[in-house]
Structure 1
Amino acid sequence: MLDELTLHLWLEETIKLLKEKRLNDLDIDHLIEELESLGKRDKNLVSSFLEKIIRHLLLLQYWEAEKERNRNHWRAEIQSLRTQLRKYLTTNLQNYLREELNDIYDDSLYYVQEETGFNVYFPEKCPYTFEELLNEKWFPS
Structure 2
Amino acid sequence: MRKGDLYEEDYNLWSDLQIAALKNRDVDALDWENLAADLDYPKYWIDHQLVMVISSLLELYGDFNAEDFEKYHWKTFVDTNRFMLNGVLEDWPHYSEKIKFAIPKAYLSAVNLMERHGKGKGFEFKFPDTCPFSFEQILEDGWYPA
TM over 0.5: yes
Q: CA deviation at 1:137?
A: 2.1
User: When the two structures are superposed, what TM-score results if normalisation uses the length of structure 2?
Assistant: 0.73
Corresponding residue for residue 50 of structure 1: 50
1:133 pairs, out of 135, 138, 145, with: 138
Q: CA deviation at 1:63?
A: 3.1
Q: CA deviation at 1:13?
A: 7.7
Aligned residues: percent identity? 20
Tell me how far apart the structure 2 counterparts of residues 77 and 120 of structure 1 sit (CA, whole Å): 21
The unaligned stretches of length 5 or more in structure 1 are 1-7
Corresponding residue for residue 94 of structure 2: 92
> Which residue type is aligned with residue 34 of structure 2?
E
Q: CA deviation at 1:86?
A: 1.3
Taking only aligned residues, the RMSD between alpha carbons, in angstroms, comes to: 2.8
Corresponding residue for residue 103 of structure 2: 101
Q: Say if 1:51 and 1:107, in contact at 8 Å, map to a contact too.
A: yes
Tell me how far apart the structure 2 counterparts of residues 25 and 98 of structure 1 sit (CA, whole Å): 32
Q: CA deviation at 1:116?
A: 0.9
Tell me how far apart the structure 1 counterparts of residues 53 and 135 of structure 2 sit (CA, whole Å): 11
Q: 1:40 to 1:110 in 2, by over 3 A?
A: same
